[in-house]
Chains A and B, each alone.
Chain A
Amino acid sequence: MTSLPHTLRIGSGAGYAGDRILPALELAEKGQLDYLVFECLAERTIALAQLERSQHPDRGFDPLLTQRMQAVLGPCMQQGVRIVTNMGAANPLQAGHEVLRVARELGLPQVKVAVVLGDDVLEVLSARGMALPLMESAHTLASLQDDVISANVYLGADALLPALQTDAHVIITGRVADPALFLAPLMHSFGWAADDWTRLGKGVLVGHLLECAGQITGGYFADPGFRDVPDLAHLGFPLAEVDASGDAVITKVAGSGGCVTTATCTEQLLYEIENPARYLQPDVVADFSQVRLTQVGPDRVQVSGGVGQPRPDTLKVTVGYREGFIADGQMSYAGPGAVARGQLALDVLRIRLNEAGFADCESRYELIGVNTILGDRIMPAPELGREPSEVRLRLAMRVKTAAQAKDVVNEVEALYLNGPASGGGATKSVREVIAAASVLIPREWVTPSVLLLEN
């Protein structure tokens, strides 16, 4: 048996589907990594990808997969860095073939890809799960009827382990719990047992800290004069140096922009966390309540104190479904009296749309720059000391059909010739709502598998 590594170096190459690619390349070239992980799936990404797949059977994976692989595959192969990513989205198998295609294009025919399958549970839910309660409401899955587009279970690190045991250079998945993308290489490399709850809790902690990439290295943090971030323009992405006990140091490539401090790490520690003592994951219930963060050097923060409890009996499924359309129309007013003219425009719009039969639709009539984000109370306009020099009218309304949505946004545009003076810059948008709901299913309903692809 080969000896276990002393520390494992895991980098985070993306925190969402559209994330920047250059910092990932920087990590691949200079991070001296063992693993580079790309986390690219938000709640409804798979539903949107599934719609694309239904139109184009060879698509439905992350739109930036090709570009990302073109950027990092060469340096990763050169330096022996394995890539783990959920960029498979609704079509992990085709994503795997696309990686092989890029590899051939780059003159790297030796690249092997392991594809993790089994997160798509639409069939089993259709057959057995229609009576399951939705986590968001008092209804059951059956209430969504024919509007359901996709159903994907959050797989755990256990589903990735067989892929890591192959000699694949790239591991591609669909829906996986985000921290599991990082936990799996740790379990694989250090031989952690599937019921070693303390270490799994620590591994989830490392994954959670890394999964949003630049959000822990000074991205989404700067507030001039209060929290200044050096060279934000060249923000580097994070990496963790993890030891066999699961304790870690979070850092970044020397010379990259941004900063790693206890403050940036605390913001990410609690990001999207409800009860810090019970962070439910497929592999473990992680407990962050006793975590300690210590600055041990410039851009180096030590993380310790994560623990865990036995994993839940059920797995969470995100169900994507169609829910009508959102109409969004906007128009700007500027100069003296901008707020009064914007308000008059809103009043006129409301009368016209009420009379056209939209009175009962959920809607928002608001002025960007006055009350769109924080309402009227938190920072009332008079306290700002002056009237804003410009405001932007916004009407958003939920309707059943695309045709209704077009009628609504046309009323906003018509304010040009039929509204108050000097409105400008009208925009109209109509989008279909792909909403997400959740159900819990027994583990036994899920059977992950791995497919090895090579040129």
Chain B
Amino acid sequence: MLLRDIAHARTGDKGNRSTLSVIAYDAKHYRLLEKLLTPARVQAHYEGIVQGPVERFCLPHVGALNFVLHGSLAGGVTRSLALDAHGKCLASGLLAMDLGHQ
């Protein structure tokens, strides 16, 4: 199962940090997300892109996790050399994560 099968995600930018929300389609999958998507696992997924650390905030009322990816925007939107300076596409990249058999 891919993360894409049970959740959607959106990134935003703040200075040299990305904010990344991961939202369960169905509230029943929220606890699974909370268990599997540890800050360490998210940071490992983005190895080479996110310099880290990764912070996580839990929002069970809306079935979502909110991550802050530090050092992920090559210096920040206004001065980055990256093609996707905002890190907009990072969210889709997380949905490629393989969750194994659940």
Contacts and interface: CB of A to CB of B under 8 A. Distances in A.
Contacts of B25: 263
Nearest to A362: B81
Interface in B51-72: 55, 57, 59, 61-64, 66, 68
20 contacts: A136-B16, A220-B10, A223-B8, A263-B23, A266-B63, A270-B12, A270-B64, A272-B12, A272-B14, A273-B21, A363-B81, A364-B82, A366-B83, A374-B89, A375-B49, A378-B46, A398-B81, A433-B78, A435-B78, A435-B79
A266 B23 contact: yes
Contacts, number: 118
A312 B78 CA distance: 26
B1 interface: no
Interface stretch (A106-114, A244-252, A288-296): A288-296
A408 to B, nearest CB: 12
Interface of A: 43-44, 135-136, 220-221, 223, 226-227, 262-263, 266-267, 269-277, 289-293, 305, 323, 326, 362-364, 366, 368, 372-379, 394, 396-398, 433-436, 438
A270 B8 contact: no
A366 B64 CA distance: 34
Nearest to A376: B48
Given A275-B57, A292-B62, 20 more contacts: A44-B78, A263-B23, A263-B25, A267-B21, A269-B64, A270-B19, A272-B13, A273-B66, A274-B14, A274-B19, A274-B68, A289-B57, A363-B81, A372-B82, A374-B90, A376-B48, A378-B46, A398-B79, A433-B79, A435-B76
Interface string B37-48: 000000001111
B14 A368 contact: no
Interface residues of B, number: 39
Contacts of A377: 47-48
A23 to B, nearest CB: 20
Contacts of B21: 266-267, 269-271, 273
A290 B66 CA distance: 14
Given A271-B10, A397-B81, A398-B81, A374 B62 contact: no
Given A274-B17, A397-B81, A267 B10 contact: yes
Contact of B81 (A43, A220, A326, A436): A326
A433 B62 CA distance: 39
Q: Which of A363, A372, A377 has the most CB of B within 10 A?
A: A377
Contact of B8 (A226, A272, A290): A226
A271 B19 CA distance: 7
A373 B84 contact: yes
A289 B62 CA distance: 9
A221 B84 CA distance: 18
B77 interface: yes
Q: Which of A263, A290, A291 has the most CB of B within 10 A?
A: A263
A268 to B, nearest CB: 8
A270 B79 contact: no
